[in-house]
Structure 1
Amino acid sequence: MSLFWSVELLTSPNKLDFDIIPHAMPLPKRKRIRTFMLLFCIVTFATFLFSYTFRDPSLYFFKYAFRLPDNLFSKGACACRRCMAEPEDDPWFTERFNLSIHPLMTSGNSLLSDDTFKWWQWLQAESHPANYTEVVEELFQVIPDEALYADGSPERCRTCAVVGNSGNLKGSQYGDLIDSTDIIIRMNQAPTAGFEEDVGSRTTHHVMYPESSVDLDNTTHLVLIPFKTLDLQWIISALTTGTIKHTYVPVTSRIKANKDMVLIYSPTFFKYVYETWLDSHGRYPSTGFLTLLFAIHICDKVSVFGFGADQFGNWHHYWEENHLAGAFRHTGVHDGDYEYNVTLLLADKHKIQMFKGR
């Protein structure tokens, strides 16, 4: 049978419709053709939208709806679906985020302005500090003097997990997710043995200060947050002679750590976090907040675990019992509520992903 196409004018009391149908074709075949045409239109539209998303990644529909690989939607700054620094960022983040201030100290950026040095020495009231310049010179004879993590590129998608110590990690079963990231940062005591299912087993960077120091394995970076010149002297001593045994409290005189993987948190960056991100709330930032901002400045994608209270509103460490609730929220020097609100704001702006556990 020959197939002819015609336009039939279908009238109704309210409208005129033009319907293209095949002449003398059975109804089932018409339905199949109409179905095919509908599917063809859907596929064409989806293909157009998908290709448009590649040209203009400000459309994130596919990124968030289908969980596609990170490097599929590279914008150029990094290979993740969404990079830490986005061209369309809102003013609040843009005016704070400053990649020119590096989180880690090297001999090249160790010189402190008078204002920064005075503020830093004031943190723990070091009244008679040693000569800072001489201590820094000795420090970089013991540990490497390298500028790390300044290697951002369109090919890199560095994923990082910042693992806090909140009791909300208990029963969370985040272990495998944490261990799947490139960089895993823990802080202070943070045991993993016996808690692997919830907190993971890998650690690439462990943040501490002399009074919270723990031994590390040979593959983990020790990231020291110094609050005074004596802290820099302590890390030199702890890796060599073991002569310093007291700061303002007794401290571990020797520490097990790979001296070739020791990093020093920059006092300049420390002050930048306090003034720019916390608007000078509290006496100085907590270790957790300093660690979070460290990750934001070296990573392309940051996931945060173990921050905040548990589901019952208790504030305690995941290795402690609930009767110690409140043990680390109110320290007298940190504004925990302000820090947590800034952390939530970063999550709301899709700069970090918060995993709140149980």
Structure 2
Amino acid sequence: MIHEVLTSMILEAFLSKYPDRKTEIEALQVNWKSQEPSNEEWNTKKELSNIINAAFQVYLKEEALQSQSFNYWSTYVSDLFPILRDLTNSLRSGDWILYLSAIERATSLFFFFGRTNYCRWTPLFLQDCYQLKEKFPLLYDSYIHGGFVVNTTKKGSGVPFDQALEQCYNRPAKVSGGIIGVTRKKEAVALWGIIKHKKDQYVDLLEMRDDVGGELSLHHDFNPSTTTKVVKMVQDIEEYLLNVCSSLRDQGMLKNVLTGEIVTKLTESAIQMAERFLVKCLKPSTDMETFDDLRIAAFDRTKQKKDQTRGSTLGAVAETPMPVLSRKSFKKLPEWDFEDIYNQDAPPRQTTCAKSLRNSQDESFKKAFLPNIRLLMHKINMSEWNRLSHFNNPFGFMEFNHDEVMAGAKLIPKPNEPLLLPKPGSDRCMSCAVVGMGGILNGSKMGKEIDAHDYVFRMNGAITKGFEEDVGNRTSVYVHTAHSITASKYLLRKYGYKSIPDDEGIKYVMIPEGMRDFNWMEGLFKNQTVTAGQYKNKRPWTYYAEQYNETRFYVLHQDFLRYVRNRFLKSPHLNDPHWAIVRPTNGAFTLFLALHTCDTVSAYGFITEDFRKYSTYYVEKHIKTKVILYSNHDYILEKNVWKKLHDSKILKLYQRLESETGTKSPSKMP
């Protein structure tokens, strides 16, 4: 209850500071009495929910820097409570992996609060647990299927096996040769076999005590009197916390909620000591330096060499997928020793164009630009999988299951490269326009200029019908994700959206944003409905306006996406707790695809210095909407990069200038 009260109080403080977010949260509500929401509506609400959550995480960080009290309670809600919750849930459900995760996260807290015995034995206990699969696979198999707890027939009723033995069998389980130390003492395994048969007896005993009436349920039903009592308890807790600590935001110093006394400033020294101690505990019996190393070694029987498991050698061939890494294990973007190493085996592109951006003398651009970076995805061998599994999506396969991804990835056709060829009769320079959906194009009359380029790139909604005068009507390359191609049909319908661009010979390029995109590709390449994930039962090929042809379908490579982020658009927000959702926009990826494909590039409808003067999208002709800078993209960083590339003559950015009379008029591009 305390957790619920604190969460509510923090959320109210957030909404009081940012009242506009309240409207967005209200937009997430569903009226169940009306027609059931469509999949598109659900997807839209899910995207909005992620954006609000990211903004909330930024708010938490900002407030924590200003108030120790707020920092403490926010930490309790975000870090301490999840450990307790996961530990409890793992024991009730018999989830061994979740149990180990909760124990590992709790270890630093034992050091912080000076729990000597836990500090001494927890690292050794974890080491035992992580080595079970390799040393005692039968015991590991029992644990992974819930054998480390005693269960009744009631769902979620697991009791730790150690706790079940506490009264009668505690001594034989904990004496020398007991369960702790099982990977180092063979007699411990034998002892486990002796006492294991007692599990059945405890199951019977628990069933008799808990299920006298027969049928079991996970929770008691709340009758009206119980509900009233709970509501009163919640109100009392909130009143008490407010009386003792004042406002969570206004209380600058941290107070003890029981005594009201000021608590001295906390430091991270205890956490750092814990980390050093954990490493020290690991080193005597292994050559591992971190828990990530230990986990990789314990769960991978092939004992791959370190350069293979960490992916520092691109050509090495591994036999099995590495253990799945979790984004929750990292408080900010992890930096690997091979972070800035990319496949550079794209077919060399020869150009005789004197104006080509590849001939730029700008030092910073020359240093960052990789002309032969692999742009497109095709075959992924196991070594590549393991290397890319260190990076979160869309930059890699972190948290993804190998077989699930490969069901779609293995079907990706070999790309016809290069993506584009110079037009016959041109001046040997391949000119490209990249058209975003920014409101700056509304009334710009740039349509003819855009269509005059050799090739035109578009992304996302890409509506042209009815807006030709401002945005043109040609599309040569269309960049999308499974989300953008499905959500546009729903979100942009009122602006006349019918389908994605369907020009003859158009090239479709996909950004593999998440697991849903690989599910989408599997259905698309097999010409069947999607069988799993968010778009289950959808027919992907119907979204391509009868222009889908696998010889003109491409998928951007994770190395290229990561290269764009690392070398050009590395946001400081990648150091924030919500780092995993921060990525460049689809428009940014499209613009850099053009920069690596064409000789000259012009960008239209992208964010500029005066972006607040325009509506969000050019389709909003008769209204002025406020531009919202969502937390999963660093729009300000992108704005600055586009301006820098324009000033350096790498690309031409369409901008509108103020006339002397104060009215906006289109400016010709230099």
**Coarse TM-score class (shorter-chain normalised):** 0.5 to 0.7
Residue 395 of structure 2 contacts residue 558 of structure 2 at CA under 8 Å; is this kept in 1? Answer: no
Compared with structure 1, are the counterparts of its residues 111 and 148 closer, same or farther at alpha carbon in structure 2 (3 Å cutoff)?
farther
Q: 1 CA distance for matches of 2:469 and 2:631?
A: 33
Change (3 A) 1:110 1:340: farther
Give the distance between the partners of 2:398 and 2:463, measured in 1 at CA: 31
Q: Give 1:308 shift.
A: 1.5
* Residue 543 (structure 2) pairs with residue 255 (structure 1): yes
Q: Given the alignment, which residue of 325, 345, 353 partners 2:626?
A: 325
The structure-2 alpha-carbon separation of the partners of 1:150 and 1:188, relative to structure 1 and needing over 3 Å to count, comes to closer
Aligned to 2:600: 301
1:346 and 1:352 in contact (8 A); partners too: yes
Which of 345, 366, 384 aligns to 1:94? It is 366
Question: Size of the alignment, in residue pairs?
Answer: 277
Distance of aligned partners of 1:127 and 1:119 in 2 relative to their CA distance in 1, 3 Å threshold: closer
Look up the match of 1:139.
412
Name the residue aligned to 2:519. Answer: 233
Q: Show CA shifts across 1:280-337 (max 9, x none).
A: 445111111111111100100001111125676235000025443214xx12111110
Query: TM-score, normalised to structure 1's length?
Result: 0.68
| Deviation larger for 96-105 or 240-249 | 240-249
Deviation at 1:135, TM superposition (A): 3.1
The change in CA–CA distance for 1:216 and 1:109 in structure 2 (over 3 A counts) is: farther
Alignment of 1:181-192 (within 5 A): 181-192=453-464
TM-score normalised by length of structure 2? 0.38
Q: 1:151 to 1:181 in 2, by over 3 A?
A: closer
Distance 1:149 1:110, change over 3 A: farther
Q: Does 1:85 align with 2:385?
A: no
Aligned 1:1-358 pairs, distance under 5 A: 78-86=351-359, 89-107=361-379, 112=384, 114-121=386-393, 127-131=399-403, 132-140=405-413, 144-149=414-419, 156-213=428-485, 214-217=499-502, 218-238=504-524, 240-244=527-531, 246-247=533-534, 253=540, 254-256=542-544, 257-259=547-549, 260-282=551-573, 283-308=582-607, 313-320=613-620, 321-327=622-628, 330-357=629-656, 358=666
Displacement after TM superposition at 1:208 (Å): 0.7
Distance in 2, Cα, partners of 1:109 & 1:293 = 26
Equivalent residue number for residue 4 of structure 1: none
Secondary structure (helix, strand or coil) at the match of 1:206 reads strand
Contact 1:123-1:284 at 8 Å conserved across structures: no
With over 3 angstroms needed to count, the CA separation of the structure-2 counterparts of 1:165 and 1:151, relative to structure 1, is: closer
Give every structure 1 segment of 4 or more consecutive aligned residues whose post-TM-superposition deviation is greater than 4 Å.
Answer: 108-111, 122-128, 248-253, 309-312
Structure 2 CA distance for partners of 1:151 and 1:177, relative to 1, 3 Å: closer
The separation in 2 between residues aligned to 1:165 and 1:145, in whole angstroms, is 28
Per the TM alignment, residue 111 of structure 1 is displaced from its structure 2 partner at its CA by: 6.9
Q: Secondary structure at the match of 2:357?
A: coil
Aligned-residue offset at 1:83: 1.2
Counterpart-to-counterpart distance in 2, 1:111 and 1:173:
50
Contact kept in structure 1, 2:355 and 2:429, CA below 8 Å: no
- Per-residue deviation at 1:170? 1.1
Residue identity opposite 2:476 in structure 1: T
Listed one character per residue, the Cα deviations across residues 131-167 of structure 1 (whole Å, up to 9, x for unaligned) are 2445322232xxx533324878x97311100001111
SS in 2 for 1:112: helix
Ranked by relative contact order (alpha carbons within 8 Å, sequence separation 6 or more), the top structure is 1
Match in the other structure for 1:59: none
Aligned-partner Cα distance in 2 for 1:339–1:148: 27
Q: Is the 8 A contact 2:432 2:598 kept in 1?
A: yes
Per the alignment, in what secondary structure is the counterpart of residue 562 of structure 2?
Answer: helix
Task: Report if the CA contact (8 A) 1:129-1:229 is conserved.
Answer: no
Please state whether the residue corresponding to 2:373 is helix, strand or coil.
coil
Distance in structure 1 (CA, Å) of the matches to 2:590 and 2:603: 11
Q: Distance in 2 between matches of 1:80 and 1:266?
A: 27
Structure 1 pair 216–190 and aligned structure 2 pair: CA distance change class (3 A): closer
Where is the strand percentage greater, Structure 1 or Structure 2? 1
SS in 2 for 1:271: helix
Seen in structure 2, the aligned counterparts of structure 1 residues 244 and 349 have a Cα distance that, compared at 3 Å, is farther
Change (3 A) 1:311 1:268: closer
**Other structure's SS at 2:652 match:** strand
Q: 1:113 deviation in Å? A: 5.8
SS in 2 for 1:95: helix
CA shift in 2, pair 1:93/1:242, >3 Å: same
Supply the distance in 2 between the matched residues of 1:106 and 1:182 (Cα, whole angstroms): 27
Report deviation, 1:263.
Answer: 1.1
Distance 2:483 2:598 in 1: 27
Give the CA deviation at 1:181.
0.8
Asked whether the 8 Å contact 1:209–1:225 carries over to 2, the reply is: yes
* One-letter code aligned to 2:638: E
Residue of structure 1 equivalent to 2:18: none
Q: Unmatched 5+ residue regions in structure 2?
A: 1-348, 486-498, 574-581, 657-665
Q: Secondary structure of the residue that 2:449 maps to in structure 1?
A: helix
What does the per-residue CA deviation read over 1:172-217, in whole Å, with 9 as the maximum and x for residues that have no partner? Answer: 1111111111110001001000000110010001111001115442
Instruction: Assess if the C-alpha contact under 8 Å between 1:216 and 1:222 holds in 2.
Output: no
Counterpart CA distance in 2 for 1:231 and 1:296 is 24
RMSD value over aligned CA atoms? 3.3
CA contact (8 A) 1:130 1:230 kept: no
